[in-house]
């Protein structure tokens, strides 16, 4: 899957994987690829940002939360996503 050819598909895939893995109270996925046109990595995948609020993150530190999110979307990180900005919070942190 090439993110530059199918950004909507990548965003849908991100949402589907995160929703299947976590029980988000809120989930926002944004495509920031246009801001990185010309960047070497932009040729091999898109730049996305995710903001997820889920009780799954209670008691976990920032690194553990990010690892869980990366694990949920690992297959997309192989070619469809070059960069992923993650904001993972608990409901109490919103």
Provide the whole-model pTM: 0.84
CA–CA gap between residue 52 and residue 22 (Å, rounded): 9
Residues 23 and 60: beta-carbon distance below 8 Å: no
pLDDT (0 to 100) of residue 38: 61
Alpha helical stretches, state H, the chain: 7-21, 62-72, 74-77
CA–CA gap between residue 15 and residue 19 (Å, rounded): 6
3-state SS of the chain: helix, strand, coil percent to 5? Answer: 45, 30, 25
pLDDT (0 to 100) of residue 36: 58
Q: Which domains does the chain have, with CATH numbers?
A: 7-93 (3.30.300.90)
pLDDT tens digit sequence for 53-84? 999 999 999 999 999 999 999 999 998 898 99
CA–CA gap between residue 21 and residue 94 (Å, rounded): 20
């Amino acid at each position: 899957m090439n993110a530059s050819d199918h950004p909507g598909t990548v965003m849908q895939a991100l949402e589907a994987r995160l929703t299947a893995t976590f029980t988000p109270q809120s989930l926002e996925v944004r495509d920031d690829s246009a801001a990185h046109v010309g960047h070497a990595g932009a040729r091999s995948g898109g730049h996305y940002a995710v903001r997820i609020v889920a009780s799954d993150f209670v008691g976990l530190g920032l690194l553990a939360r990010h690892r869980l999110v990366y694990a949920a979307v690992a297959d997309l990180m192989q070619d469809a996503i070059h960069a992923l900005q993650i904001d993972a919070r608990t409901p109490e942190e919103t």
